């Protein structure tokens, strides 16, 4: 039994006697209300793990007051305040942050959990939650490469390993829900949150999302794919309204959410800030109830993004008060309102406690929350072992995995002069100029913890070059426009220092980066500040120049790429990134990444994606072609790969049939290498307009010199289906062009697969 008192917690000396009196009084009151404790003291049905979860949920639900139900539909950032009476009716969950090591953080969370389990009337545990996009956002946790970098690896197995490591660290601290991953499709690279996504393609995003979610859910941590359904609108602007029709959403944006639920087992979904077709996504009955819950059969719980529910009142102007915005959201299918302060509860409380939302809908939402808490085992095992948290977080195996993931995500964009790799007999430069603040800052990207022992690019180069080489650093110009080293005589002096250092060296490595992030969308996708000028002037010295780009989205390069000898996209490569990039520069590892987004020639081409619908007439501009600078799927290797022997068997299949598509890939060069074999398809005649090209499969392989591999794909209803004019999923008869290559523009083999009538 639990005390029903609401006064501040008494001293430890008085607590036993007071609790005994309170317990007895509470038992009498609850018995009179028909919700008294079962015989045997604490042996209440909802506490019995031997009973079916649904029965336990119904028992607990029947004991709850309207206030207690409301609190289970409310989540907040922060630990309980000194006056804990405000928490007496419980809460869904808390984001408990603090500057502490893993052991201390686990102990602190145990203390918070103990209050709810032992000092609230029903003893309902909370769901501690946190961000974990590419590592838990907490001191002492391993920082892996950013999400877009993991997407660039094109490796579901690697994603599963990395997510599994993050999930293990997360659970060991007592955190049982992560507000990750971001599965929105990045269709416009101006969006500041492209770095958090898995790129522009729905198939790639779906497979990686499922791998990430599955790794967390299997370890008892609820994953929360977000933001349902799209969180970026016209102009690449965050949270701008969505006017796309349901066809577009179903063909593109819905797919990674559906994969995360059906293939990954996601038990939570987060809504978007913006509106779709005039209705806020956090209060959209078609999205939340009609599609997510009814059509897809989602049994988990839906949460809002932080403070987004109130946007119906303060931003969208579709509700006349905060209470009404809450009513609309809960009535439409939202289950849990996420706010940043416990004091915000009063803004939404009346919608539930005042009976403005139908009891059936309220109870449905509470059931979803309670079911998750029981499935997680929180009622039986609410606490964690701080020693285990200390052992798991930041362990050497996780750091080694972070380095491997960084190597696999680096994309070699250009290497026309063959300046890379630097390693090999007689090849290593004896003097290296490293230029740019991104070489020493070791930025991790958005939603990152501090990392443990961050390895910057300069550190990685110095370690790999060895004692026989001279490595010198010049800050050069930075990323910011118009301040400090970016302008005037000081800025000119900084660039001149970098140029002088490059002129006196055998190799120049210029580290350049962009500025982006949540609420930091870009109207200009060129390198900020005077970085482009610095690259041109360094390259003009005649010293071989390698540019290493740090960032989470595309960069316009027309004004400098012609002068650079080699260009690598390092993304935000995690805390081991500097070492990993150096290994790729020297050829200790083949650059294993491929672009998950299209890099345009100019911002004026945006939005630019590879799988667009056919145009009505023209595809270019008066002053530019319609082609990208680097296409989706692009990435060079130090090896040379030959494709041959395409087979499509059988060449004709029935509408529900499956064909085997295969080819042989051979490493025709003298070095071992990594290749991503990409399968695309094109519907040659359909009842509605179809994309000019669609990714339908990919395989990542590693081959030694002269080695070959037979790569096979299955192409069937899943790959060939489309939505007809009535939005019904069908496979139409006709011919499909099958294309295999190294990117969406570098196609090596073509064939035809026919679906019979």
Query: Which of helix, strand or coil describes residue 275?
Result: strand
Can you tell me the distance from the alpha carbon of 556 to that of 554, in angstroms, rounded to the nearest whole number?
7
Q: What angle do CA 195, 196, 202 make, to 5 degrees?
A: 100
Half-sphere exposure of 588 (CA within 13 A, CB side): 15
| Contact present, 672 and 621 (Cβ < 8 Å) | no
Q: What angle do CA 448, 449, 455 make, to 5 degrees?
A: 90
Query: Do you find a cis peptide bond into 650, omega within 30 degrees of 0?
Result: yes
C-beta atoms surrounding 105 within 10 Å:
29
Residue 285 Ramachandran class (φ > 0 left, ψ -120 to 50 alpha, else beta): alpha
The verdict on whether 627 is a catalytic residue reads no
Can you tell me the distance from the alpha carbon of 673 to that of 629, in angstroms, rounded to the nearest whole number?
24
Can you tell me the distance from the alpha carbon of 468 to that of 428, in angstroms, rounded to the nearest whole number?
10
Can you tell me the distance from the alpha carbon of 491 to that of 494, in angstroms, rounded to the nearest whole number?
5
Query: In sequence order, what are the residues at sequence separation of 6 or more whose Cβ sits closer than 8 angstroms to the Cβ of residue 16?
Result: none
Can you tell me the distance from the alpha carbon of 298 to that of 289, in angstroms, rounded to the nearest whole number?
9
Tell me which of 89, 201, 305, 565 is the catalytic residue: 305
Can you tell me the distance from the alpha carbon of 531 to that of 485, in angstroms, rounded to the nearest whole number?
11
Sheet strand arrangement including 470-474: 411-414, 566-569, 545-550, 507-513, 431-435, 470-474
Can you tell me the distance from the alpha carbon of 296 to that of 286, in angstroms, rounded to the nearest whole number?
12
Half-sphere exposure of 130 (CA within 13 A, CB side): 28
Can you tell me the distance from the alpha carbon of 203 to that of 426, in angstroms, rounded to the nearest whole number?
44
Active site residues: 305
């Amino acid at each position: 039994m639990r005390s029903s008192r609401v006064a501040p917690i008494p001293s430890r000396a008085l607590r036993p006697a007071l609790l005994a009196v309170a317990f007895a009084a509470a038992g009498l009151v609850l018995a009179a209300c028909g919700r008294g404790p079962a015989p045997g003291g604490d042996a209440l049905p909802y506490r019995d793990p031997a009973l079916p979860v649904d029965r336990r949920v119904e028992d607990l639900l029947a004991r709850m007051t309207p206030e207690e139900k409301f609190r289970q539909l409310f989540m907040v950032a922060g630990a309980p305040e000194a006056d804990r009476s405000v928490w007496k009716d419980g809460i869904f969950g808390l984001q408990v942050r603090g500057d502490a090591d893993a052991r201390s953080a686990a102990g602190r969370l145990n203390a918070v959990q103990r209050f709810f389990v032992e000092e609230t009337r029903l003893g309902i545990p909370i769901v501690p939650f946190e961000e974990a996009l590419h590592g838990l956002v907490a001191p002492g946790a391993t920082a892996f490469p950013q999400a877009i970098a993991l997407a660039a690896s094109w490796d579901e197995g690697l994603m599963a390993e990395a997510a599994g490591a993050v999930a293990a660290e997360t659970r060991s601290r007592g955190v049982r829900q992560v507000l990750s991953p971001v599965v929105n499709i990045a269709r416009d690279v101006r969006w500041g949150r492209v770095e958090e996504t898995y790129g522009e393609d729905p198939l790639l995003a779906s497979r990686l999302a499922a791998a990430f979610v599955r790794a967390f859910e299997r370890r008892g941590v609820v994953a929360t794919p977000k933001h349902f359904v799209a969180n970026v609108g016209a102009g690449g602007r965050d949270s701008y309204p969505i006017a796309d029709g349901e066809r577009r959403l179903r063909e593109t944006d819905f797919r990674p959410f559906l994969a995360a639920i059906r293939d990954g087992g996601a038990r939570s979904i987060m809504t978007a800030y913006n509106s779709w077709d005039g209705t806020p996504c956090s209060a959209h009955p078609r999205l939340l109830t009609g599609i997510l819950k009814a059509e897809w059969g989602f049994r988990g719980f839906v949460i809002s993004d932080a403070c987004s529910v109130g946007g119906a009142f303060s931003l969208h102007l579709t509700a006349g008060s905060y209470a009404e915005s809450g009513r609309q959201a809960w009535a439409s299918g939202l289950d849990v309102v996420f706010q940043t302060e416990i004091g915000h509860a009063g803004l939404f409380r009346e919608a539930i406690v005042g009976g403005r939302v139908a009891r059936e809908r309220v109870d449905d939402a509470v059931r979803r929350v309670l079911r998750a808490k029981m499935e997680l085992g929180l009622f039986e095992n609410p606490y964690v072992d701080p020693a285990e948290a200390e052992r798991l977080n930041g362990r050497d195996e996780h750091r080694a995995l972070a380095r491997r993931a960084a190597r696999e995500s680096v994309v070699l964009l250009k290497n026309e002069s063959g300046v890379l790799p630097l390693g090999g007999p007689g090849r290593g430069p004896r003097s290296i100029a490293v230029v740019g603040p991104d070489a020493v800052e070791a930025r991790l990207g958005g939603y990152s913890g501090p990392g443990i022992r961050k390895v910057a690019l300069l550190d990685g180069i110095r370690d790999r070059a060895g004692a026989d080489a001279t490595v010198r650093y010049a800050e050069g110009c930075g990323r910011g426009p118009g301040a400090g080293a970016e302008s005037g005589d000081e800025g000119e002096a900084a660039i001149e220092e970098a140029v002088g250092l490059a002129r006196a060296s055998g190799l120049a490595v210029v580290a350049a980066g962009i500025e982006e992030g949540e609420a930091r969308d870009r109207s200009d996708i060129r390198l900020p500040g005077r970085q482009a000028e610095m690259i041109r002037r360094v390259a003009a010295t005649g010293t071989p120049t390698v540019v290493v780009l740090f960032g989470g989205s595309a960069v316009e390069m027309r004004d400098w790429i012609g002068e650079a000898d080699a260009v690598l996209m390092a993304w935000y490569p995690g805390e081991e990134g500097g070492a990993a990039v150096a290994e790729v520069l020297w050829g200790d590892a083949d650059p294993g990444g491929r672009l998950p987004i299209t890099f345009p020639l100019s911002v004026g081409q945006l939005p630019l994606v590879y799988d667009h619908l056919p145009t009505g007439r023209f595809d270019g501009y008066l002053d530019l072609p319609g082609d990208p600078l680097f296409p989706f799927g692009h990435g060079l290797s130090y090896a040379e790969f030959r494709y041959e022997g395409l087979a499509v068997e059988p060449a004709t299949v029935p509408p529900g049939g499956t064909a085997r598509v295969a080819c042989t890939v051979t490493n025709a060069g003298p070095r071992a290498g990594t290749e991503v074999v990409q399968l695309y398809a094109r519907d040659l005649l359909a009842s509605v307009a179809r994309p000019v090209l669609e990714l339908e499969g990919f395989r990542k392989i590693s081959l030694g010199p002269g080695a070959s591999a037979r790569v096979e794909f299955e192409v069937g209803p899943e790959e060939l289906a489309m939505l007809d004019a009535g939005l019904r999923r069908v496979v139409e008869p006709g011919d499909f062009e099958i294309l295999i290559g190294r990117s969406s523009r570098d196609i090596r083999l073509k064939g035809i697969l026919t679906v019979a009538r």
